[in-house]
Amino acid sequence: MAQAITIKIKGLDKLQAAFRRSSGLVKLQLQKAISLSVALVNREAKKEAPVMTGRLRSGIRSKLSPLRGVIESTVKYGIFVHEGTTARTIKPVRKRALYWKGARHPVKSVRHPGNKANPFMRRGAKIAEGQVQMIFQKAINNVTKQLSL
């Protein structure tokens, strides 16, 4: 006849309790790390943004949702500054000719040389990368510390 053998594991109840609360704990720590990181990258991107009027810089915004953070330029031309533009011909849309203050005479078209890319958001993220790593390492340490209690 088979006999049951029981092995009592010390601390198993604490481990089970830690796993039960781990989901909320991990989510809380990750959201905090994401929030701090987004604010940091936002700040660095604003520092790196070129300034003529200040609209581009002030148009850099962040959005937070559960376990996600987004930093974006809300001005329409932000992508063109960041990624650059190719050379192109500009022609009138509503009139028969183009004219601007300082031009000698109206013209039928203008050849625009394009704009060089200025990846200010990418530079801001790169500058913040080391600090973001530390923020997430701290979050991981906090989770493991709290789970070991």
pTM for the full predicted model: 0.78
The pLDDT of residue 40 is above 60 = yes
Q: Is the pLDDT of residue 30 over 70?
A: yes
Looking at per-residue confidence, does 120 or 4 come out higher?
A: 120
pLDDT at 20: 74
> pLDDT per residue over 58-106, tens digit each?
999 999 998 889 999 999 999 999 999 999 999 999 999 999 999 999 9
**CB of 45 closer than 8 Å to CB of 12:** no
Cα–Cα nearest to 132, from 37, 26, 64: 37
The pLDDT of residue 17 is 73
**Which residues are within 8 A (CB) of 145 and not within 5 positions of it... i.e. 6 or more apart?**
none
Distances 4 to 7, 8, 10, 11, 107 between C-alpha atoms, Å: 10, 13, 19, 22, 97
